[in-house]
Amino acid sequence: MVDPLGLRPAAFIDRDGVINEERNYVHRIDEFVILPGVPEALRRLREAGYLLVVVTNQAGIGRGMYTEADFHELTRHMQAQLAEQGAAVDAVYFCPHHPSAGVGPYRVDCSCRKPHPGMLLDAQRDWPIDMQRSLLVGDKISDIQAGQAAGVGRCALVRSGHDLGPDEAASGVPVYDDLLAAAVALTS
């Protein structure tokens, strides 16, 4: 059914642990490994009518471990790899801040760092997104909290190689082994 206002659902997807292997503060191309099934999952979501929007906290920038330029270089690499596999993303939003460990201007309790909904709301401002028909897939409770605060209709967790904590386990949202399993379940 076509929305009379031209709004589309978005699939908001966390990056580290959902799209690529979870490693501490991935910021170099040689560290970046796309997880199995991710291109297929993204293609499936796109075919189901979702805009593909990556939303990622990047506290390593705020902590001074790498620069925004490093992040953008890795993002271009990620986008090119996914596009080559027919799984291009529409947009990438990131938060470089950290409220307590940030350095200089990055030490901010901002509205964009998940669990706050700022990145999702920015995407809604920039794109014709229907939040109620949208979904979010993350690997931490902060992802789920951001989705819920933004009014995202469905949220899910994936296992990113580390155990889900008690907050994630008690969240009441579905948990899948990976992004592909989540995409299959959420689009069926």
Q: Is 3 inside a domain boundary?
A: no
Among candidate residues 118, 181, 147, 176, the one with its CA nearest the CA of residue 10: 147
Residue with tokens 């929305």: 3
Residue with tokens 């938060």: 95
Q: Is 66 inside a domain boundary?
A: yes
User: Quick check: is 16 catalytic?
Assistant: yes
pLDDT tens per residue across span 121-153: 999 999 999 999 999 999 999 999 999 999 999
User: Quick check: is 139 catalytic?
Assistant: no
CATH number assigned to the domain comprising residue 80: 3.40.50.1000
Task: Considering the candidates 3, 16, 109, 139, report the single residue annotated as catalytic.
Answer: 16
47 alpha carbon, distance to own chain's centre: 19
Domain span at residue 35 reads 10-187
Query: One-letter amino acid identity for 14?
Result: D
What is the model's pTM? 0.95
Q: Count up the domains in the chain and report the number.
A: 1
